Amino acid sequence: MTERRTGSSPTLRDVATAAGVSAATASRALNGSTRNVSEEKLALVLDAAAKLGYVPNLSAQANARGSTNTVALIVHDIADPYFSSIAAGAIEAAEAEGLIVSMAVTGRSADRELEIVSTLRGHRPHAIILAGSRVGDDQDALVAELREYEAAGGRVAVVSQPGLPYGTVSVDNHAGASELAAALVAHGYRRFAVLRGPDALRTSRDRSAGFLAGLAVAKIKVDGRFVIEADFTEDGGHAAATELLGRGLDDVDLIFAANDVMAIGAMRALRDAGLVPGRDLAVAGFDDISAATDVDPALTSVGVPTRAMGLRAIDLALNSEDKGEIVWLPTAVVLRESTPRRS
Amino acid sequence: MTERRTGSSPTLRDVATAAGVSAATASRALNGSTRNVSEEKLALVLDAAAKLGYVPNLSAQANARGSTNTVALIVHDIADPYFSSIAAGAIEAAEAEGLIVSMAVTGRSADRELEIVSTLRGHRPHAIILAGSRVGDDQDALVAELREYEAAGGRVAVVSQPGLPYGTVSVDNHAGASELAAALVAHGYRRFAVLRGPDALRTSRDRSAGFLAGLAVAKIKVDGRFVIEADFTEDGGHAAATELLGRGLDDVDLIFAANDVMAIGAMRALRDAGLVPGRDLAVAGFDDISAATDVDPALTSVGVPTRAMGLRAIDLALNSEDKGEIVWLPTAVVLRESTPRRS
DNA sequence: TTGAAAGCGCTAACAT
DNA sequence: ATGTTAGCGCTTTCAA
């Protein structure tokens, strides 16, 4: 057992001493970019390091080098599958580059987000990734903070919130919904109802507009009284569908909801009214959350490549020269039993 | 516009100079624990810092102080709701203590986990939290690595994997399942079937044993042919339930599955056989995943306080003296429509 | 190839 | 209350 102060790790100097070389040589052997160390000393140093259980102090290293090996990821809520999947992608990409990810959550508060950016900035991460759609309001303070970060050499990328002056990865909600509409028409559906979320939500807007546009291509129009706005939640979907049933279905054969949870709510409303979703009335959603395959019948939806979004965000931040670049990731229509083919 | 090197942030010295004080004073004003700075200079420094957009370099700070403000969290898969919820709790607790969380994922590989612990250790985090149940095999290397970390003053806590010599937060699966059994008996059920996961999984073992124990209290025994082992997955549940139906139900009135996804699979199997879950045959699961309320009928289950587990893990790591302490978190029975009260 | 020495940005005695 | 002076652990000139 080597004598060593308790409560602290062996330092580079310890290793150097043990190996009988200078700290500089030990540094070169262990973490150096330039490999000008003799085989012999190299072995000595590596040996001593292993023996002592030496782990380089990354703070000190960062301090000396002036750069870290971390990236910061900011999400609204890591327990939300949407964000956790983005995080998974980001972490994967970061680890592939030898970077470690530090994470913080805003709880959807803009103030908190600003605080967090500032704190995280203290770690001098290679990049800061902001994930989560901003709620319109003034983001001047945030942009100012990020500007300073950039001025100091930091990279920024954002996920799903076009409008910030940074590399952005986003998903083409309009196109995805439009494709879904086309697929549904091909399945034989002709009369549609649309359950949309609040108009203030760009995501919801894009999806309903895209869906209607897709139908328009097939010369199908949707009667205004079959387009209903409600909360972007399961209860919202339930309420909207109930409202729809109240107005009279006429011969509507499919309900499109702007997201899966609304669609699931709508399915519940149908059942409450004694209808069988998928048989009496088809239902489709958007997001392809995991619950989409848990419900009965399984829900037709549009998959959003959340994991890929995280991956690309890291890539964008680290490797793109063109800030302001927007990467549009494709969605994927998934047809399931809630929209059986109509004979 | 102040003259400043581009590509680097203003330093404490810059602030001090701008404020006309020494670096030490600036340090005390900005980040000092002891507040021995005159109102006047304090204002001066704060002002200069704000003007320059100064953000303390946390690496340097850590280096000088010999301690960081981070904790490391290691999970198998952040996209898994179980882990993301634990992470949410951990992040919340950490942020409350002013700590930021860096995260890494193992992808369930023991080798990768070891690597990660070593890398993360380089950041000299206050604590390392390991979440995820280990798969029995030899963990000597991991423990050795953690020992060194501890020797250097690091704190370790683990979630859900009793057996490691560290503070552990776990959930009492046995008691939870037992309570569920009691609640079900109180609801009028008398004849049970149990769909268990692989016996190698402690979680599954504890749950089925607990359930049977709970029934035993009510003097109810479960016939061996109504206890079926299968994969801990939805398909496993489906297969097991199908098998059960094949063996003949006799007058079994409720199926308990060792987790929710199995239960959901079982519900699917019932429907496939023309039975209506909840009406013809009750079903209950364990975990209370979000899908439990999405399925129809909503699934009776036992809630696992994943978020609280994350919270407590941080707490344990940071504030507990007694390593080896095990915190058992209580589960909560949630009765839903899949197990209606029997008249 | 190697070592001595300076310095990264900050903190913490130690003086004053 | 403030400034001076050493460090923290590591990297990186600069000589040798």
CA distance A44 to chain B (A): 21
Nearest to A100 among B66, B81, B119 (CB): B119
pLDDT at B225 over 80: yes
User: What is the average pLDDT value for chain B, to the nearest integer?
Assistant: 92
Q: Do B178 and B297 sit in the same domain of this protein? A: yes
pLDDT given at position B4: 40
The C-alpha atoms of residue A343 and residue A100 are separated, in whole angstroms, by 54
Structural domain that includes position A155 = 67-171+307-329
Q: CA-to-C1' distance for B58 and C5, Å?
A: 26
Lowest mean pLDDT among A102-111, B224-233, B236-245: A102-111
The residues of chain A scoring below 70 in pLDDT are 1-7, 33-34, 133-137
The tokens of A19 are what?
């190996």
Q: Report the run of H or E that residue A212 belongs to, with start and end.
A: helix A202-217
A2 within a domain of the structure (yes/no): no
Total count of residues recorded for chain B:
343
Same domain as B312, residue B208: no
Calculate the angstrom distance between C1' of C7 and CA of B310: 41
In a domain, A238, yes or no: yes
Same domain as B289, residue B198 = yes
Contact list in B for residue A108 (CB cut-off 8 A) is none
Please, what's the b/e burial string for A145-163 (b: 16 or more CB within 10 A of its CB; e: otherwise)? bbebbeebebbbbbbbbee
Tokens linked to A37: 């160390």
Instruction: Tell me the pLDDT tens digit for each residue of B256-269.
Output: 999 999 999 999 99
Same structural domain for residues A296 and A209? yes
Radius of gyration for chain B, computed over Cα atoms and rounded to the nearest angstrom:
27
Q: What distance in Å separates the CA atoms of residue B339 and residue B299, rounded to the nearest whole number?
A: 8
Same domain, A178 and A297: yes
Q: Give me the percent of chain B exceeding a pLDDT of 70.
A: 95
pLDDT on residue A157: 96
pLDDT at residue B2 in the model? 36
A96: helix, strand or coil: helix
User: Does residue A287 sit in the same domain as residue A222?
Assistant: yes
CB A10 within 8 A of CB A54: yes
Residues of A within 8 A of B6 (CB-CB) are 151
- Contact between B139 and B109 under an 8 Å Cβ cutoff? The reply is no
Residues with Cβ within 8 Å of A129's Cβ and at least 6 positions away in sequence, in order, are: A71, A72, A73, A74, A90, A156, A157, A158, A159, A310, A313, A314, A317
Q: Average pLDDT of B118-141?
A: 86
Average pLDDT in the B70-91 region?
94
The answer on A231 and A220 residing in a single domain is yes
Q: How far is B238 from chain A (nearest CA, A)?
A: 13
Which of B7, B101, B264 is facing A102, going by the closest CB pair? B101
**In the predicted model, what is the mean pLDDT of residues B170-174?**
95
Q: How confident is the model at residue B18 (pLDDT cuts 50, 70, 90)?
A: very high
Strand C atom within 7 Å of A12 CB: no
B134 has a pLDDT exceeding 90: no
Torsion angle in degrees (nearest 10) through CA of B122, B124, B125, B130: 50
Are B215 and B198 contained in the same domain?
yes
Distances in Å between the Cα of A87 and the Cα atoms of A35, A178, A213, B191 are 35, 28, 32, 45
- Can you tell me the distance from the alpha carbon of A105 to that of A333, in angstroms, rounded to the nearest whole number? 30
Sorted by sequence, the CB contacts under 8 Å of residue B98 that are 6+ apart come out as B69
Which residues in chain B have their CB less than 8 angstroms from residue A146's CB?
Answer: none
With respect to residue B340, please indicate whether it lies within any of the assigned structural domains. no
Say if residues A154 and A128 touch (Cβ distance below 8 Å): yes
Q: Is B188 on the interface with A (CB under 8 A)?
A: no
3-state secondary structure A248-298: CCCCCCEEEECCHHHHHHHHHHHHHCCCCECCCEEEECCECCHHHHCCCCC
Surface of B (85-124) touching A: CB under 8 A: 85, 87-88, 91-92, 95, 100-105, 118-124
Confidence of residue B93 (pLDDT cuts 50, 70, 90): very high
Write the residue in B53, B56, B70 that is nearest to A148 by C-beta. Answer: B53
pLDDT given for residue A317 in this prediction: 95
CB contact under 8 A, B148 and A268: no
Nucleotide nearest to A66 (CA to C1'): C8
Residue B335 lies in a domain: no
Q: Using one digit for the tens of pLDDT, what is the confidence trace for B21-65?
A: 999 999 999 987 667 889 999 999 999 999 999 999 999 999 999
Is residue A6 a part of any domain in this protein?
no
Nucleotide D13: closest residue by CA–C1': A24
Contacts of B5 in chain A (CB under 8 A): none
A53–B63 C-beta distance less than 8 A: no
**What is the CA B258 to C1' C6 distance in angstroms?**
64
- Complete DSSP assignment for B299-317: PBEEE--HHHHHHHHHHHH
Burial of B111: CB neighbours in 10 Å, binned 0-12, 13-18, 19+: exposed
Task: Provide the pLDDT for residue B5.
Answer: 43
Assign residue B126 the CATH number of its domain: 3.40.50.2300
Is residue B130 in some structural domain?
yes
Contacts of A62 in chain B (CB under 8 A): 59
| B272 interfacial to chain A (CB closer than 8 Å) | no
B266 and B154 within one domain: no
DSSP state string for B79-144: TSHHHHHHHHHHHHHHHHTT-EEEEEE-TT-HHHHHHHHHHHHTT--SEEEEES---SS--HHHHH
pLDDT confidence of residue B324: 84
* A78:B92 CB<8 A: no
**Is the Cβ of A152 closer than 8 Å to some Cβ of chain B?**
yes
B136: pLDDT confidence band, cut at 50, 70 and 90? Answer: low
Domains identified in chain A, total number: 3
**Do B195 and B151 belong together in one domain?**
no
Same domain as A252, residue A225? yes
Position of tokens 């021995």?
Answer: B36
In sequence order, the 6+-apart residues with CB closer than 8 A to the CB of A318 are: A71, A97, A126, A127, A155
Same domain as B162, residue B178: no
Residue A343 falls inside a structural domain: no
